[in-house]
Amino acid sequence: MSRTVKNKTVPRLVLAFVLLLLLSTIRVPKASAFGSEEHETITKEVLKKFGFSDNAIEKVTGANLGQDSIICYGPLCPGTSNTEVPDYHGDRLSGETSLQAFDRLRNFISKAKGWVKNNLTKCDVEKAWIALGQALHALQDFYSHSNFIDKGVFTEEEKAEIKKALEDPSYNPKALEKLKMTGWGMKAKDDPEKYHHDEKNKDTSSCPLGYEAYEAAVKAATEHTAAFLRRLKEELKEEDWYKLIGKPKPPAKPPPSVKERTIKESTGKPLLEFTPPDGFFEISIHYSSNWTMGLTVLEGLPNGVILLSSNPEPSLIYTATIGSPDNPPVTLVLWNFTSMEGPIGLVEIEYSIVVTEEAIKYPSVARRCEHPIPGHVVLYGEVLETDANGTRYKSIIGGQQSILFESEPIIEEEHEDATHDPIDVYTGQAAPLESYVPYSDVKNATVSVYPQWLKFTLRLVDQIPERPESFTSLTVGVDKDGDPLNNCPDIPFDGVDTIYSVLYDLEKGFWRLEKSSYEGFWTIPINTGAGFQISEERDTLVLWIPKGELPGLRQALRWKVVTEVNLVGDKAPNEGAYSTPVSIYNLVVKILPRTLVKIGRVNYTADPTGEVRKYLKAGEINIEMEPLVSVFEDTRKIFSRWSDGSSLNPRLITVDRNITLTAEFTTEYLLTVSSDYGGLAQSTWLTEGSIVNISAPTVVNISAGSRVLFNGWTGDVVSSDPIVSLKMDWPLSIEATWRT
Ligand SMILES: [Ca+2]
Ligand SMILES: [Ca+2]
Ligand SMILES: [Ca+2]
């Protein structure tokens, strides 16, 4: 409803972005037109009712307000013509009819609504929010800049027609003939329609038509804002609506023919309230014997997500290849228990969903809009079960969590091992080469350390058969607490206290993962959240261990690899038991939104809140940020210091704990002085709030016998005094005028 425009051409979307970061520093003049209050109240109230997230409300409202404030700040505003975008506010310009002004306004609203839809389809939610804010601003201004609420002009029926016409530029009811839009850019007395803004606006509670008119305008604008959103919701695809309100789509309800049940995770909490521990889903399901189960992941899981199951294994596991993340849903796994002999009561099945590095690069469809940053993955699906009687059950798993992963390991160590080096695993002696099995021969072992995970990658000389003919195990042993006293003393697992074995069970005919710990003897297999994957080429084994299973882990991890095929295998790397540093810390750098910071050798762009988060290993690292950020052509931010007092940029920091560093800035505005004489013309950057005195000579001699006299200052300061004092609360531009 405020309505002044700064006549500068700057791309609007860019401006609106910048606006968000500037809102706190810009002062919107509150002179005759009201500022942001009404737009803000109306918009926030309605968006809230429609369930918009706090973040979405903030962005949409910011863009709505931006329609006034980005283009109107500083003393230039009042009285300046808004020829650039009168469409935004429904202003009727000189020489225009009310209907023409109305057309411009409603065309803009339609256009902005189209931007909302397009950007949602493209997943550019930020832009959709901006477009929605713009559409709503224009819509709301209609009521303060027209005769819509004026008494005795329109019947209720006609009002309904006009509201419809405002949203539909092709609809032209007869009532439009009586519509008047407020005149702007001409004097009130010159207004041919005698409906000038100065006399007829409903912008403020003290508007010329009185409080009642203002109140009615606000009420009508509020109602139409809600109606506009209601229609938009109907027109949008459901998934796009959820993108717009900034919330994840709730899980689908199971069809009525299927019984709903709640799967419990192992701690017994209902799964929907389950927060996955560091990227693992572990779900225990109790089954009778004749049961099949399929897991379908809704919304599409990204590539690289692996589903694992563990003890006891069903007779048949069918694992589908996960397709493109854009082609959900994908059925991942089907378990079939029908070949087990007779009912055996309850069977506990566990399965884990492992999210690998690859998955991190392809965030799932569900949240891609909300978290366009790689590393957020939604696990959200349903389990379909059929029991022996044919009764079907359906459960929703995963809920709406997202998991943050670091796509690169923070620490990685790669170790070569000799090839053709078989040993008798239980004596440690070299074994004869004729007993050599190439898939038990490790040629390379890598440990990768992530914030919440340890990953071991074993590369073997040859392919692991899908169904080996002999007992086969590939084991990673670790010293979980760094305490040598509780480690196993006997080969092959001497020096470690916990082992993770991927082994082939000859009797049952499948691969499984077992964890044991040493308590003076090796325990029977214990539950683990670890998982494994044998590569497609079958020459690499990847083993994931959640760090949470090694709570005693300190700064370094001792580990070793032992493989075995029928008593003969390999220990690796070389003699085994390497110590790898594992300390990881979190660095948070807070700078200006979407600006760059270089951490080490990599540039990162801050998110819309200005944050960059990074996991780092212990040590020293260099941080460098942009020292000067241009916000507008006449407004810039200069780095002043870090929150810990240092003003170095770049600076070296020591990472030995979690660190948060906030950059502090000062704002500078451009002062532009124009003058044809006296050498006054200059452009100077000045710190916000600073005071500057400018003094013009009263007489300038141009040439012999010719001179000019100082006439006065115009622009942001109007004065005939040659000495003016300016306070830099915003960018200023002044010009000296002269007479002969
Ligand atoms: Ca080897
Ligand atoms: Ca130990
Ligand atoms: Ca070896």
Other residues' Cβ atoms within 10 Å of the Cβ of residue 676: 13
> Cα(582) to centroid of ligand 2, in Å?
16
Helix (H, G, I), strand (E, B) or coil at 241: helix
- Residue type at 557? L
Q: What's the burial of 589, exposed, middle or buried (CB within 10 Å: 0-12/13-18/19+)?
A: buried
Tell me if 48 sits within 8 A of 2, measured CB to CB: no
pLDDT above 80 for 320: no
- What pLDDT, in 10s, does the model give residues 484-499? 999 999 989 999 999 9
> Cα(576) to centroid of ligand 1, in Å?
11
> Cα(400) to centroid of ligand 3, in Å?
45
* pLDDT score recorded for residue 640: 94
Q: Percent of the chain at pLDDT above 70?
A: 71
pLDDT above 90 for 732: yes
Q: Write phi, then psi, for 614 (nearest 5 degrees).
A: -150, 135
Say if residue 374 is preceded by a cis peptide, omega within 30 of 0: no
**Residue of 341, 563, 352, 530 whose CA lies nearest to 445:** 563
pLDDT above 90 for 479: yes
- What pLDDT, in 10s, does the model give residues 394-404? 665 543 333 34
pLDDT above 60 for 362: no
Place of tokens 């008119």: 213
**Residue of 496, 253, 262, 292 whose CA lies nearest to 387:** 292
Q: How many degrees, rounded to 5, is the angle at CA 670 between CA 668 and CA 671?
A: 125
C-alpha count within 13 angstroms, C-beta hemisphere, residue 369? 26
Query: Cα–Cα distance between 660 and 614 in angstroms, integer?
Result: 10
Mean pLDDT value of segment 338-356: 43
Q: Which-ligand-closest: CA of 483?
A: 2
Helix (H, G, I), strand (E, B) or coil at 244: helix
374 vs 665: which has the higher pLDDT: 665
> Cα(471) to centroid of ligand 1, in Å?
19
Beta bridge partners of 498: 478, 517
* pLDDT score recorded for residue 13: 33
Query: Cα–Cα distance between 184 and 80 in angstroms, integer?
Result: 11
666 falls in which pLDDT band (50, 70, 90)? very high
Q: Which-ligand-closest: CA of 484?
A: 2
- What pLDDT, in 10s, does the model give residues 215-239? 999 999 999 999 999 999 999 988 7
Q: Which-ligand-closest: CA of 517?
A: 2
Token reading at 702: 């141009």
Other residues' Cβ atoms within 10 Å of the Cβ of residue 605: 12
Q: Which-ligand-closest: CA of 481?
A: 2
> Cα(497) to centroid of ligand 1, in Å?
23
Tell me if 622 sits within 8 A of 600, measured CB to CB: yes
Domain 261-404, CATH number (from 2.160.20, 2.60.40, 1.10.1060, 3.30.70): 2.60.40
* pLDDT score recorded for residue 1: 57
* pLDDT score recorded for residue 300: 43
Mean pLDDT value of segment 156-170: 96
Query: Cα–Cα distance between 717 and 670 in angstroms, integer?
Result: 15
Place of tokens 């009819």: 97
Query: Cα–Cα distance between 547 and 448 in angstroms, integer?
Result: 12
* pLDDT score recorded for residue 526: 83
- What pLDDT, in 10s, does the model give residues 129-139? 988 998 999 99
> Cα(33) to centroid of ligand 1, in Å?
80
> Cα(563) to centroid of ligand 3, in Å?
9
445 falls in which pLDDT band (50, 70, 90)? very high
Beta bridge partners of 639: 665
> Cα(175) to centroid of ligand 3, in Å?
90
The 3-class SS string of 669-683 reads EEEEEECCCCCCCEE
> Cα(562) to centroid of ligand 3, in Å?
9
258 vs 68: which has the higher pLDDT: 68
Q: Among the ranges 180-189, 204-213, 420-429, which has the highest mean pLDDT value?
A: 420-429
> Cα(662) to centroid of ligand 1, in Å?
49
**Are 261-404 and 411-581 equal in CATH topology?**
yes
Query: Cα–Cα distance between 674 and 722 in angstroms, integer?
Result: 14
3-state helix, strand, coil in the chain (%, to 5): 25, 35, 45
Query: Cα–Cα distance between 426 and 571 in angstroms, integer?
Result: 11
Q: Which-ligand-closest: CA of 477?
A: 2
Angle between helices 238-245 and 98-121 (to 10 degrees): 100
The dihedral built from the CA positions of residue 361, 365, 369 and 370, taken in this order, carries a sign that is negative
Other residues' Cβ atoms within 10 Å of the Cβ of residue 185: 16
* pLDDT score recorded for residue 382: 61
| Fold type of domain 584-667 | Immunoglobulin-like (2.60.40)
C-alpha count within 13 angstroms, C-beta hemisphere, residue 33? 26
Domain 411-581 has CATH 2.60.40: yes
Tell me if 450 sits within 8 A of 405, measured CB to CB: yes
Average pLDDT, rounded, for the chain: 77
242 falls in which pLDDT band (50, 70, 90)? confident
Sequence spans of domains, the chain: 12-245, 261-404, 411-581, 584-667, 670-739
* pLDDT score recorded for residue 86: 59
* pLDDT score recorded for residue 248: 66
> Cα(419) to centroid of ligand 1, in Å?
4
String of DSSP letters for 26-70: -----SSS--SHHHHHHHHHHHHHTT--HHHHHHHHHHHHHHHHT
> Cα(562) to centroid of ligand 1, in Å?
10
Tell me if 497 sits within 8 A of 487, measured CB to CB: yes
> Cα(484) to centroid of ligand 2, in Å?
5
Query: Cα–Cα distance between 686 and 679 in angstroms, integer?
Result: 19
> Cα(455) to centroid of ligand 2, in Å?
19
Query: Cα–Cα distance between 413 and 3 in angstroms, integer?
Result: 62
**Residue of 129, 148, 164 whose CA lies nearest to 43:** 129
Mean pLDDT value of segment 592-605: 88
Token reading at 456: 């071991």
> Cα(559) to centroid of ligand 2, in Å?
11
Place of tokens 């390991």: 409
Tell me if 180 sits within 8 A of 192, measured CB to CB: no
Beta bridge partners of 673: 682, 734
Token reading at 488: 């196993």
Q: How far is residue 707 CA from its own chain's centroid?
A: 63
Alpha-carbon distances of 22 from 83, 251, 364, 636, 665, rounded to whole Å: 24, 38, 33, 11, 13
Tell me if 349 sits within 8 A of 335, measured CB to CB: yes
pLDDT above 80 for 245: yes
363 falls in which pLDDT band (50, 70, 90)? very low
Query: Cα–Cα distance between 606 and 17 in angstroms, integer?
Result: 14
**Residue of 9, 231, 219, 4 whose CA lies nearest to 116:** 231
